[in-house]
C-alpha cells in the first residue's frame, strides 16, 4: 500500500489528483489523507481518500504502507525516518498558490540526497519514482548519529504541548530563534556532519511553521 498525506493545514490538489491518475496503473492500493476540500470527491480504482484521520488511524496507515508520499513537511520527514519508511516528497510551490512561500522547495533541496528520501519535482517525476524505482528505506534509528537521534528526541519533547490541531495532534509554533536554541543545546561541534546538518538548515528555513508530530 502507498500512503499519502498532505498535512492538516491546507489541501494539496496537485498531489491528490496525481495519485488519483496513477491509481489505476498500480498493482496496490493508495490511501490518501487529503485534507478538507474538493479532493475527497475524486474516484479511482484502489484509491481511498480520507479528509482527516485520527492519530491512531494515521499511525496504522503509516506503518502498513510500503512507501509514504507527502508534501515536504518536517513532521512527515521525521516520522518516515522513525518508522523506517521510504518517503517520496512533492514539495508545494508558492507560484501555484500551494503555500505562502517556497520553504518546502528549500526543504526538498536539503533532503533530496538522504537515503530513503526521494524528491519528485513534478507530477511526471512522481509517477516515474512510484512506478519505476525500487525504493530503499532510510537507515534504522540505531544507525543514525547520536546527534541526529538526540535532535529528533529533543524536538518531539519540545513540541509536545497541550495545544491540539484539527486531527487532535499536538502542535507548537517553532520560531527561528527557538530552532537555533535547540540546535545549540545538542552540540555545536557536530553541525557539519551530513546527517545532522540537513535538519538544522531545514528547521531554520521552516521557522514559524507548525510542526505536526504525526505527519
- Would you write out the chain's pLDDT as a tens digit for each of its 215 residues? 999 999 877 889 999 999 999 998 888 999 999 987 756 667 888 899 998 899 999 999 999 999 999 998 888 888 898 899 999 999 999 889 888 888 889 888 888 888 899 999 999 999 999 987 689 988 765 555 565 555 555 555 554 444 444 344 434 444 434 443 444 454 343 444 545 555 554 555 454 444 444 44
Query: Cα separation of 204 and 175, whole Å?
Result: 8
List CB contacts of 209: < 8 A, sequence separation 6 or more: 74, 103, 174
Kindly report the pTM of this predicted structure. 0.69
In terms of DSSP H, where are the helices of 55-214?
55-64, 74-82, 103-111, 123-132, 146-159, 176-186, 194-205
Enumerate domains of the chain plus CATH numbers: 2-132 (3.40.50.2000), 141-212 (no CATH)
Query: Cα separation of 15 and 70, whole Å?
Result: 8
Torsional sign, CA 69, 70, 76, 78: positive
Amino acid at each position: 500500500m502507498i500512503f499519502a498525506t498532505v498535512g492538516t493545514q491546507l489541501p494539496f490538489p496537485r498531489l491528490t489528483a496525481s495519485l488519483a491518475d496513477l491509481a489505476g496503473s498500480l498493482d496496490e492500493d493508495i490511501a490518501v489523507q487529503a485534507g478538507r476540500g474538493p479532493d475527497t470527491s475524486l474516484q479511482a480504482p484502489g484509491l481511498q481518500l480520507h479528509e482527516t484521520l485520527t492519530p491512531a488511524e494515521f499511525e496504522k496507515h503509516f506503518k502498513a504502507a510500503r512507501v509514504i508520499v507527502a508534501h515536504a513537511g518536517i513532521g512527515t520527514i521525521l516520522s518516515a525516518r522513525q518508522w523506517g519508511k521510504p518517503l517520496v516528497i512533492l514539495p508545494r510551490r508558492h507560484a501555484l498558490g500551494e503555500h505562502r512561500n517556497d520553504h518546502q522547495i528549500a526543504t526538498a533541496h536539503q533532503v533530496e540526497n538522504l537515503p530513503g528520501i526521494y524528491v519528485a519535482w513534478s507530477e511526471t517525476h512522481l509517477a516515474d519514482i512510484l512506478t519505476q524505482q525500487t525504493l530503499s528505506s532510510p537507515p534504522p534509528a540505531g544507525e543514525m548519529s547520536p546527534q541526529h537521534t538526540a535532535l529528533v528526541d529533543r524536538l518531539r519533547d519540545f513540541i509536545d504541548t497541550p495545544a491540539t490541531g484539527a486531527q487532535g495532534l499536538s502542535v507548537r509554533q517553532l520560531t527561528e530563534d527557538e530552532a537555533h536554541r535547540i540546535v545549540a543545546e545538542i552540540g555545536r561541534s557536530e553541525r557539519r556532519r551530513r546527517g545532522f546538518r540537513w535538519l538544522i538548515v531545514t528547521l531554520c528555513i521552516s521557522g514559524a511553521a507548525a510542526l505536526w508530530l504525526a505527519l
